[in-house]
């Protein structure tokens, strides 16, 4: 089975691993020790100490914060209990006019704002754009991911989380 | 271990026994131990590799028999080898979506007593293109032949080609105007079309008299039969070598191994839990010629998908909350939905180990009856199922990718496939003959971005991982249009840290015909039917058609004056309008109109993929390269990505890193100033929701979803704190 150094994983995650090497990683058998190296790489990237338990987006992580498990932005902003939809605690910009859609689509035909809007979910502290939803007006905000965190650590990683 | 040599049971009883054993043991055909694999793993792998080689080689040989540029150039074909019960053991590359749809076709014949009538004999050829029996759409015509050894049915060989002409109400294969089954074209419903390895003459005559371009269909039939015979003879020779009992046992073990490998791969690559996503599809036909008033002319579909990955590795996809089937061509049967699942899994998870029907057995699809995913009327049309399948399975790819990102396999995360609207055509060819064709250059859209790099430009579609647009010269041989442009569309990939792959646009001059019908399917501009991920934006919507009737292009060419070769980057005034005189037409798809003739100019744009990550993190140096090469415009680089570009001494764009940093800081500050708490926005929208103050098509969409789905109703009501039924007038 394959195994890579933490440095290689760090470059892979950052998108800076040279393409021929990336291609080999993609084609090879997968490295079973990836997860904890990946988490270690991400932990090095953040300035806070709460242990990362699971990445859920490019800059969003479920982490152990004291007794709580919360969804946290890379900047340190907490969106609260990881079981709740973090988007509901985010800030939002809605593009529901031709003018605002045109800012993102300068040269193309546009969707009809009566049929579709773009919702940008933003960290209120650092301004990172975490997620974009394209939805009909009135469509409930989607809860993207509800991980079975305990089951994952217990049954798949064989390292049950504390407090179980 | 249940040991079964070549069964003495009748095949229908054997199929039922196999299903019962799976039910009882949870393992395919009751195979609880991979005995032969454990005895000699090398022999096990070698034999499966041989089977795969039989398939790949048979497909390549058969493509040379075909007359269709779809099969010869673009590779719209797949072949596979099956167990007697119809489960795929090994398959070729190509349009793998059909490996499982063929499985359904074989099982359908078995369940319907074909062993007694019309009988299953050595040398028989069976064909099907009925999606309710087992395919995706009418142009996907499949042929299977039984494999007999020592007088016993020991398997099947099957092949599918996507036909470029199906004889429907509109020309081409994807019959855009079909609103019910009876307008979709020539149906072959699990029919015995040949005996003694030869197609029946009366079947060929039926094809010749009911298709606009029978040479495609008929020679594809011969290509498929040749590939099936080739695989059959190879399998028989292999059985001579290894013995019949061994074959019967190992062919089943291959499938059980495939099932176990899929579960293991889920546990290796993903994270258990519930994943959700959605996309939309808008259809606009009001006032367009030919549409029968059977349903609403304009409509909007929502496609919510909930995917569960269980701790044993099973993937369950649930479409509850989506829309009812309708009188349009985009409905899909469970066979098609299965096919979509199969082709997606083969691309994203089954990149090692054995690939066969076992992977599909490790999944479950929940397709609510009465929806477009599972129509409760078999009269529903499915001629352009891909219009909804592609966006839906694009969501599936994003859901899977979320799990790859969570697990750390970022190199596998992929924002997904997009709709790729196709042009269908027919009328009088440049040779003065009747013709019809689907233009398959659509098999090369832009892909979604990856989590570590940009998407593929003009090089991906979901249904065939070997994307190919075909050579211009080959297409020109087959239609009365000449290319005057085939260009990358700038900014057509969704914006993001990694942008989606760009699409391309073709510009044609209609030539040497006075009657060319052009029809597009799977197409409207009203909504995004793709999506971005982790902060990336969706790619632009499907673009409108721009055409010029009675243009002065010959006059301009005679003078050596500049022509228009693309539509340009000004959405309000195209290059066609700038350079050509004539009757300018801009039409939102689907394009259905009066025939074109020599001198007309027509454009068609394909779709790009969604972006990944925050646009303000995009690499400025890479962006300068993109601008230099026409993938992005300088205006988009600055306005969307916040990247300031200067010019070097030779006029090439170079990134100004300091200015970019300052500009992006300003954009970030502006973002923060503009954004407001989601809770405030929800509060501001509630009264609109309560009053159902939406466009009629949006309102209808909600009412339909609420009527069909208690879960959607509850989720909607809970989210907005309104009574959804009361708001939308649903009893």
**Are the beta carbons of A106 and B633 separated by less than 8 Å?**
yes
**Type and span of the H or E element at B441:** none
Residue of A nearest to B282 (CA): A115
**Are the beta carbons of A38 and B408 separated by less than 8 Å?**
yes
Position B418 pLDDT exceeds 60: yes
Query: How many CB atoms lie under 10 A from the CB of residue B482?
Result: 15
A146: contact with B, CB 8 A cutoff: yes
**Are the beta carbons of A93 and B528 separated by less than 8 Å?**
no
| B278: chain A residues, CB-CB within 8 Å | 135, 139, 142
Residues sharing a CB contact under 8 Å with residue A59, sequence separation 6 or more, in sequence order? A73, A74, A75, A123, A128, A130, B534, B535, B614
Express each pLDDT in B251-282 by its tens digit.
999 999 999 999 999 999 999 999 999 999 99
pLDDT at site B353: 64
Single pTM value for the model: 0.96
Q: Is B127 helix (H, G, I), strand (E, B) or coil?
A: strand
pLDDT at site B342: 86
**Are the beta carbons of B527 and A116 separated by less than 8 Å?**
yes
Position B59 pLDDT exceeds 70: yes
Residue of B nearest to A36 (CA): B408
A150-154, B348-352, B595-599, B690-694: segment of lowest average pLDDT: B348-352
**Are the beta carbons of A35 and B408 separated by less than 8 Å?**
yes
Position B126 pLDDT exceeds 80: yes
| B635: chain A residues, CB-CB within 8 Å | 106
Smallest Cβ–Cβ distance between B681 and the set A26, A92, A140 belongs to A92
pLDDT at site B356: 85
- How many residues are present in chain B? 731
Backbone angles phi, psi at B300, to 5 degrees: -130, 130
Sheet holding B363-366, edge to edge: A145-147, B273-284, B298-309, B315-318, B363-366
Q: Which is it for strands B601-605 and B583-587: parallel, antiparallel or unpaired?
A: unpaired
Q: How much of chain A exceeds pLDDT 90, in percent?
A: 97
Express each pLDDT in B279-330 by its tens digit.
999 999 999 999 999 989 999 999 999 999 999 999 999 999 999 999 999 9
**Between B442 and A162, residue with greater pLDDT:** B442
Express each pLDDT in B376-415 by its tens digit.
999 999 999 999 999 999 999 999 999 999 999 999 999 9
Express each pLDDT in A2-14 by its tens digit.
999 999 999 999 9
pLDDT at site A163: 61
Position A45 pLDDT exceeds 80: yes
Query: How far, in Å, CA of B113 to CA of B120, rounded?
Result: 10
Residue A76 lies in a domain: no
| B633: chain A residues, CB-CB within 8 Å | 106-107
Express each pLDDT in B135-166 by its tens digit.
999 999 999 999 999 999 999 999 999 999 99
Average pLDDT over every residue of B434-448: 95
**Are the beta carbons of B491 and A105 separated by less than 8 Å?**
yes
| In chain B, domain spans | 11-260, 395-400+414-605, 616-670, 678-728
Express each pLDDT in A115-144 by its tens digit.
999 999 999 999 999 999 999 999 999 999
Smallest Cβ–Cβ distance between A130 and the set B489, B495, B535 belongs to B535
**Are the beta carbons of A136 and B527 separated by less than 8 Å?**
yes
Show which of residues 42-101 on chain A sit within 8 Å of chain B, judged by CB atoms.
Answer: 54-59, 87-94
Query: How far, in Å, CA of A140 to CA of B702, rounded?
Result: 11
Indicate which of A8, A128, A138 best probes the interface with B, i.e. most B CBs within 10 Å of its own CB: A138
CB of B296 closer than 8 Å to CB of B346: no
CB of B98 closer than 8 Å to CB of B77: no
Query: How far, in Å, CA of B731 to CA of B96, rounded?
Result: 43
Q: How much of chain B exceeds pLDDT 70, in percent?
A: 98
pLDDT at site B2: 39
| A25: chain B residues, CB-CB within 8 Å | 411
**Are the beta carbons of B408 and A39 separated by less than 8 Å?**
yes
Name the residue among B229, B235, B251 with its Cα closest to residue B354. B251
Residue of B nearest to A124 (CA): B672
Name the residue among B345, B261, B356, B352 with its Cα closest to residue B34. B261
Name the range with the highest mean pLDDT among A88-97, B73-82, B352-361: A88-97
**Are the beta carbons of A139 and B635 separated by less than 8 Å?**
no
Average pLDDT over every residue of B480-488: 97
Residue A2 lies in a domain: yes
Tokens of B55: 């398939």
Chain A nearest-CA distance from B493, in A, is: 10
CB of B317 closer than 8 Å to CB of B341: yes
Tell me the pLDDT band of B454, cut-offs 50, 70 and 90.
very high
| A107: chain B residues, CB-CB within 8 Å | 490-491, 569-571, 633, 636
DSSP letters for B659-692: HHHHHHHHHHHHHHHH-EEHHHHHHHHHHHHHTT
**Are the beta carbons of B540 and A108 separated by less than 8 Å?**
yes
Tell me the pLDDT band of B420, cut-offs 50, 70 and 90.
confident
Residue with tokens 């006075």: B514
Sign for the CA dihedral angle at B602, B608, B614, B620 comes to negative
Average pLDDT over every residue of A50-59: 98
Quote ipTM for the complex: 0.98
Position A91 pLDDT exceeds 70: yes
Q: How much of chain A exceeds pLDDT 70, in percent?
A: 99
By CB neighbour count within 10 A (0-12 exposed, 13-18 middle, 19+ buried), where does A66 fall? exposed
Tell me the pLDDT band of B3, cut-offs 50, 70 and 90.
very low
| B451: chain A residues, CB-CB within 8 Å | 58
Number of domains in chain A: 1
pLDDT at site B5: 44
pLDDT at site B6: 52
pLDDT at site B533: 98
pLDDT at site B7: 59
pLDDT at site A1: 75
Express each pLDDT in B557-576 by its tens digit.
999 999 999 999 998 899 99
| B264: chain A residues, CB-CB within 8 Å | none
Tokens of B413: 């995360």
- How many residues are present in chain A? 164
**Are the beta carbons of A142 and B689 separated by less than 8 Å?**
no
Query: How far, in Å, CA of B355 to CA of B258, rounded?
Result: 6
Average pLDDT over every residue of B226-231: 98
A79-83, B110-114, B341-345, B423-427: segment of lowest average pLDDT: B341-345
Express each pLDDT in B64-83 by its tens digit.
999 999 999 889 999 999 99
Number of A–B residue contacts, CB under 8 Å: 255
pLDDT at site B728: 97
DSSP-assigned letter for residue B609: P
Average pLDDT over every residue of B689-708: 98
- Whole-number average pLDDT of chain A: 96
- Whole-number average pLDDT of chain B: 95
Average pLDDT over every residue of B547-563: 97
Q: Where in the sequence is the domain holding A21, given as residue range(s)? A: 1-45
């Amino acid at each position: 089975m394959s195994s890579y150094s933490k440095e290689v994983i760090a470059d892979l995650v950052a998108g800076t691993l040279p393409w021929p090497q990336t291609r080999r990683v993609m084609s090879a058998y997968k490295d079973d020790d990836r997860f904890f190296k990946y988490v270690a790489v991400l932990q090095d990237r953040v300035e806070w100490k709460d242990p990362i338990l699971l990445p859920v987006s490019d800059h969003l992580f479920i982490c152990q914060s004291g007794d709580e498990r919360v969804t946290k932005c890379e900047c340190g902003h907490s969106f609260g209990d990881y079981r709740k939809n973090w988007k509901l605690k985010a800030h939002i910009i809605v593009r529901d006019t031709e003018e605002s859609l045109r800012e993102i689509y300068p040269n193309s035909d546009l969707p009809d704002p009566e049929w579709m809007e773009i919702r940008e979910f933003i960290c209120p502290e650092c301004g990172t754009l975490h997620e974009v939803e394209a939805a009909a007006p009135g469509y409930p905000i989607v809860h993207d991911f509800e991980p079975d965190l305990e089951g994952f650590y217990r049954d798949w990683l064989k390292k049950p989380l504390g407090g179980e | 271990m249940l040991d079964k040599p070549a069964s003495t049971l009748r095949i229908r009883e054997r199929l039922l026994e196999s299903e019962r054993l799976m039910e009882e043991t949870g393992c395919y055909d009751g195979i609880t131990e991979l005995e032969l694999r454990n005895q000699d793993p090398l022999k096990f792998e070698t034999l499966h590799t041989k089977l795969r080689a039989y398939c790949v080689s048979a497909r390549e040989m058969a493509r040379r028999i075909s007359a269709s540029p779809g099969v010869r150039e673009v590779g719209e074909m797949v072949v596979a080898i099956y167990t007697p019960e119809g489960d795929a053991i090994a398959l070729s590359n190509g349009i793998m979506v059909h490996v499982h749809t063929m499985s359904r076709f074989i099982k359908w014949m078995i369940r319907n007593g074909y062993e007694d009538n019309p009988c299953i004999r050595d040398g028989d050829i069976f064909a099907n293109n009925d999606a309710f029996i087992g395919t995706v759409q009418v142009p996907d015509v499949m042929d299977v032949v039984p494999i007999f050894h020592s007088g016993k049915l020991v398997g099947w060989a099957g092949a599918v080609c996507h036909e470029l002409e199906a004889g429907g109400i509109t020309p081409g294969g994807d019959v855009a105007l079909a609103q019910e089954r009876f307008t979709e074209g020539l149906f072959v419903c699990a029919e015995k079309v040949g005996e003694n390895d030869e197609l029946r003459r009366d079947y060929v005559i039926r094809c010749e008299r009911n298709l606009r371009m029978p040479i495609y269909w008929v020679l594809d039939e011969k290509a498929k039969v040749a590939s099936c015979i080739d695989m059959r003879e190879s399998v028989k020779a292999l059985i001579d070598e290894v013995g019949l009992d061994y074959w019967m046992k190992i062919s089943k073990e291959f499938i059980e191994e495939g099932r176990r490998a899929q579960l293991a791969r889920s546990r290796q690559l993903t994270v258990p839990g519930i994943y959700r996503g959605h996309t939309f599809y808008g259809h606009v036909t009001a006032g367009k010629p030919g549409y029968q008033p059977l349903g609403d002319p304009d409509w909007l579909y929502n496609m919510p998908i909930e995917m569960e990955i269980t701790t044993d590795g099973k993937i369950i996809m649930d479409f509850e909350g989506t829309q009812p089937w309708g009188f349009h061509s985009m409905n899909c049967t469970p066979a098609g939905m299965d096919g979509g699942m199969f082709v997606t899994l083969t691309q994203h998870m089954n990149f090692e180990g054995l690939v066969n029907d076992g992977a599909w057995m490790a999944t479950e699809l929940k397709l609510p009856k009465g929806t477009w995913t599972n129509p409760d009327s078999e009269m529903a049309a499915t001629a352009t199922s891909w219009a909804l399948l592609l966006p839906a399975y694009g969501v599936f790819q994003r859901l899977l990718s979320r799990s790859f990102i969570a697990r750390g396999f970022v190199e596998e995360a992929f924002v997904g496939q997009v709709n790729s609207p196709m042009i269908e055509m027919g009328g009088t060819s440049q040779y003065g003959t009747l013709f019809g064709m689907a233009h398959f250059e659509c098999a090369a859209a832009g892909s979604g971005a990856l989590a570590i790099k940009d998407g593929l430009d003009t090089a991906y579609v979901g249904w065939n991982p070997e994307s190919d647009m075909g050579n211009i010269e080959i297409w020109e041989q087959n239609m009365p249009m000449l290319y005057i442009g085939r260009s990358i569309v700038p900014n057509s990939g969704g914006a993001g840290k990694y942008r989606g792959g760009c699409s391309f646009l073709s510009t044609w001059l209609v030539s040497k015909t006075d009657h060319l019908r052009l029809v597009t399917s799977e197409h409207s501009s009203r909504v995004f039917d793709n999506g971005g991920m982790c902060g990336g934006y969706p790619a632009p919507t499907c673009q409108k058609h721009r055409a010029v009737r009675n243009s002065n292009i010959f006059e301009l060419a005679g003078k050596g004056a500049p022509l228009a070769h693309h539509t340009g980057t000004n959405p309000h005034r195209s290059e066609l309008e700038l350079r050509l005189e004539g009757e300018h037409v801009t039409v939102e798809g689907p394009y259905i109109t009066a025939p074109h003739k020599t001198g007309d100019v027509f454009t068609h744009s394909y779709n790009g993929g969604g972006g990944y990550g925050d646009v303000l993190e995009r690499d400025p140096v890479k962006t300068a390269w993109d601008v230099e090469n026409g993938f992005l415009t300088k205006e988009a680089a600055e306005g969307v990505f916040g990247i300031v570009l200067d010019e070097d001494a030779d006029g090439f764009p170079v990134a100004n890193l300091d200015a970019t940093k300052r500009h992006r800081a300003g954009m970030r500050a502006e973002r923060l100033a503009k954004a407001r708490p989601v809770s405030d926005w929800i509060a501001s929208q509630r009264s609109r929701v309560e009053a159902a103050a939406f466009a009629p098509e949006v309102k209808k969409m909600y009412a339909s979803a609420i009527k069909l789905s208690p879960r959607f109703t509850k989720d909607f009501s809970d989210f907005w704190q309104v009574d959804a039924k009361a708001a939308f007038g649903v009893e």
